[in-house]
Structure 1
Amino acid sequence: MTESWVNSAERIGRDLHIDLSGGGSRRAALLHALREAVRSGRLAPGTRLPPYRSLAADLGLARNTVADAYAELVAEGWLTARQGSGTRVAERAAPPPRVRVPKRAPVAPEPPAHNLVQGQPDAGSFPRTAWLAAARRALTAAPNEAFGPGDPHGRIELRRALAAYLARSRGVRADPERIVVCSGFAHALRLLFGTGGGGVLRGPLGVEAYGLGFHRSLLTTAKVRTVPLGLDEHGARVEDLADAPVPVRAVLLTPAHQFPTGGPLHPSRRAAVVDWARARSGIVLEDDYDGEFRYDREPVGALQGLDPERVVHIGSVSKSLSPAVRLGWMVLPEHLVDAVVTAKGEREAWASVPDQLTLADLIESGHYDRHVRRMRQRYRRRRDQLVAALAARAPHVTVTGIAAGLHAVLRLPPGTEASAVKAAAWHGVGLEGLAAYRHPEARTTAPDGLVVGYATPAEHAYTAALDALCRALPPPP
Structure 2
Amino acid sequence: MVVNRSFRHAPPALIALELDRASGAPVFRQIARQLRERIASRALSPGTRLPPSRELALQLGVARNCVVDAYDDLIAEGILEGRGRHGTFVAASVPAGRGAAIGTSGSPQLLGRLNAPTLPVQEPPANASLDWRPGQASARTLPLDVWRNACREAGRNLPPQSYGDPSGEPGLRRAIAAWLFEHRSVKVEPEQIVVTHGTGHALQLAAQALLAKGDLCATEDPGYAGATLAFLRAGASLRYVPVDSEGVVVKRIIEAGKVPALIHVTPAHQYPMGGRLSGPRRRALVELARARAMLILENEYDCEFHYAGTNHPPIFSHAPESTLLLGTFAKSVSPSLRLGFIVAPPAAAAALVARIERERTHVSWPVQKIVETLLVSGELDRHLRRVRRHYEAMRNAIRERLAPYADVLALGGDEGGLHVVIAGRDGAFDRDLRGILRSRSAVFNDVHDFTALEAQPRGFLLGYGHMEGEALTRSLDLLEASIKEIERANRSGVRYGRQ
TM-score for the superposition, normalised by structure 2: 0.68
> What residue is the counterpart of 2:199 in the other structure?
185
Instruction: Determine the C-alpha separation between the residues in 1 that align with 2:143 and 2:443.
Output: 26
> What residue is the counterpart of 1:65 in the other structure?
none
> Deviation digits for residues 254-287 of structure 1, max 9, x if unmatched?
1111111112111111111111111222210000
Instruction: Determine the C-alpha separation between the residues in 1 that align with 2:225 and 2:318.
Output: 28
Q: 1:413 to 1:230 in 2, by over 3 A?
A: same
Please state if 1:471 is matched with 2:481: yes
Q: 1:460 to 1:301 in 2, by over 3 A?
A: same
Within the candidate set 108, 115, 123, 2:131 is matched to: 115
Within the candidate set 147, 169, 190, 1:131 is matched to: 147
Does the 8 Å CA contact 1:173/1:308 hold for their aligned counterparts? Answer: no
Does the 8 Å CA contact 1:182/1:351 hold for their aligned counterparts? Answer: yes
Within the candidate set 357, 361, 368, 1:349 is matched to: 361
Q: CA deviation at 1:434?
A: 1.5
Within 5 Å, which residues of 2 pair with 1:40-439?
A: 109=123, 111=125, 113=127, 114-140=130-156, 142=157, 146=160, 148-194=162-208, 199-202=209-212, 203-243=215-255, 246-346=258-358, 349-392=361-404, 396-416=408-428, 417-438=430-451
Q: 1:464 to 1:108 in 2, by over 3 A?
A: closer
Aligned partner of residue 168 in structure 2, secondary structure? coil
* Structure 2: gaps spanning 5 or more residues: 1-90, 100-120, 491-499
Instruction: Determine the C-alpha separation between the residues in 2 that align with 1:322 and 1:455.
Output: 10
Aligned partner of residue 420 in structure 2, secondary structure? strand
Instruction: Determine the C-alpha separation between the residues in 2 that align with 1:192 and 1:305.
Output: 19
Q: 1:146 to 1:395 in 2, by over 3 A?
A: farther
Aligned partner of residue 228 in structure 1, secondary structure? strand
Identity of aligned residues (%): 30
Q: CA deviation at 1:423?
A: 1.5
Instruction: Determine the C-alpha separation between the residues in 2 that align with 1:137 and 1:120.
Output: 27
Aligned partner of residue 206 in structure 1, secondary structure? strand
Aligned partner of residue 167 in structure 2, secondary structure? coil
The one-letter amino acid paired with 2:339 is L
> What residue is the counterpart of 1:459 in the other structure?
469
Report which of the two structures shows the higher radius of gyration computed on alpha carbons: 1
Aligned partner of residue 242 in structure 1, secondary structure? coil
Q: CA deviation at 1:109?
A: 3.7
**Number of aligned residues:** 367
TM-score for the superposition, normalised by structure 1: 0.71
> Deviation digits for residues 405-443 of structure 1, max 9, x if unmatched?
0011123122233432222111221112221111x2x36
Within 5 Å, which residues of 2 pair with 1:433-448?
A: 433-438=446-451, 440=452, 442=453, 445-446=456-457, 448=458
> What residue is the counterpart of 2:50 in the other structure?
none
Aligned partner of residue 380 in structure 2, secondary structure? helix
Aligned partner of residue 164 in structure 1, secondary structure? helix
Q: 1:348 to 1:161 in 2, by over 3 A?
A: farther
Aligned partner of residue 336 in structure 2, secondary structure? coil
Does the 8 Å CA contact 1:285/1:313 hold for their aligned counterparts? Answer: yes
Instruction: Determine the C-alpha separation between the residues in 1 that align with 2:288 and 2:256.
Output: 13
Q: CA deviation at 1:224?
A: 2.1
Does the 8 Å CA contact 1:427/1:472 hold for their aligned counterparts? Answer: no
Q: CA deviation at 1:394?
A: 6.3
